[in-house]
């Protein structure tokens, strides 16, 4: 097992808080506002903040032509499909359900690692994956009847999670010898172009200024999510083994459920509290130092 450095731990805590809270924030943002437009504006307006971070930290912007093809594939698996699918899933489902389904990603990651990349997982890692799967099942305990009536949203969230899991493995194994912030900047820039084109093609007849609630959600996504969180995730995904990086963020759906319950009055049950304990077990399984 790989223990976290102090910097990785700080980044993980901030990432968990920001992404966990963002599920009900996104729900508010897209309830009465076009989802592709919301996501395109979030990414496009967040890009300058990322550029400022690169400039202040003296991180190079240059991306050699030989890396363009691989970076495009990383952007497709880590950003394009996730952001397109999950924003529609959030609009269709409750914020808590979307968060739970989106964070089936570590389960997909373990399976893809074993089947596609021949990754040998320890018994402790598989125990963590099992705890995460059981925790997700408990969080969904009271949702199956409602989810059955919303198959498109469920399918979109699960597909997004599976592709993101593949992207995490590819990010860990990338041969691009550039700083993670550089990769994050260019993937974000590519995503801004793709989402903007899709928003124009499919939602231009709905273009309008956002209402105050949607504007607040948009500002949160611009500053926190695309100004910090995405780059923070790529930093962890590139620096930790895929199972460690994916299971380490398993507290995010728990935060999504509880913040949705407090803010949007989505119901809580005893299974939600049991899932908290299981997520702690899943995180500890990959981050707690092994005995020597």
The tens place of each residue's pLDDT in the chain, 292 residues long, gives 456 788 888 998 899 899 989 999 999 999 999 999 999 999 999 999 999 999 999 999 999 999 999 999 999 999 999 999 999 999 887 787 788 778 778 778 878 888 888 877 677 777 777 777 777 777 666 555 555 556 787 788 889 988 998 999 999 899 999 999 999 999 999 999 999 999 999 999 999 999 999 999 999 999 999 999 999 999 988 887 776 667 667 678 778 777 877 777 766 666 666 766 666 666 666 555 555 5
pTM of the predicted protein model: 0.84
**Residue 269 burial by CB count (10 A; 0-12/13-18/19+): exposed, middle or buried?**
middle
Quote the CA–CA distance of 139 and 93 in Å, as a whole number. Answer: 14
| Residue 226: alpha-carbon gap to chain centroid | 11
> What's the gap between Cα 154 and its chain centre?
16
Would you list the domain boundaries of the chain? 6-287
Contact by Cβ (8 Å): 253, 92 = no
């Amino acid at each position: 097992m790989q223990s976290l450095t102090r910097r990785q731990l700080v980044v993980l805590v901030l990432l968990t808080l920001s992404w966990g809270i963002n599920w009900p924030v996104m729900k508010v943002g897209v309830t009465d506002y076009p989802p592709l437009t919301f996501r395109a504006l979030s990414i496009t307006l967040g890009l300058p903040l990322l550029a400022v971070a690169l400039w202040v930290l003296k991180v190079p912007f240059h991306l050699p032509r030989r890396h363009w093809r691989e970076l495009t594939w990383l952007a497709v698996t880590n950003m394009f499909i996730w952001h397109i699918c999950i924003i529609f899933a959030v609009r269709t489902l409750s914020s808590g359900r979307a968060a739970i389904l989106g964070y089936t990603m570590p389960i997909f990651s373990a399976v893809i690692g074993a089947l596609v990349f021949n990754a040998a997982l320890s018994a402790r890692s598989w125990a963590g994956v099992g705890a995460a799967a059981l925790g997700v099942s408990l969080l969904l305990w009271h949702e199956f009847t409602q989810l059955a009536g919303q198959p498109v949203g469920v399918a979109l969230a699960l597909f997004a999670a599976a592709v993101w899991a593949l992207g995490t493995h590819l990010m860990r194994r990338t041969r691009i010898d550039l700083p993670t912030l550089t990769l994050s900047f260019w993937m974000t820039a590519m995503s801004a172009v793709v989402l903007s084109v899709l928003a124009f093609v499919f939602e231009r007849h709905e273009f309008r200024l956002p209402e105050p609630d949607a504007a607040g959600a948009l500002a949160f996504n611009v500053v926190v999510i695309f100004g910090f969180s995405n780059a923070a995730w790529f930093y962890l995904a590139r620096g930790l083994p895929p199972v460690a990086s994916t299971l380490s963020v398993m507290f995010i759906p728990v935060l999504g459920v509880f913040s949705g319950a407090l803010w949007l009055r989505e119901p809580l049950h005893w299974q939600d509290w049991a899932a908290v304990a299981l997520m702690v077990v899943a995180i500890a399984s990959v981050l707690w130092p092994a005995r020597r």
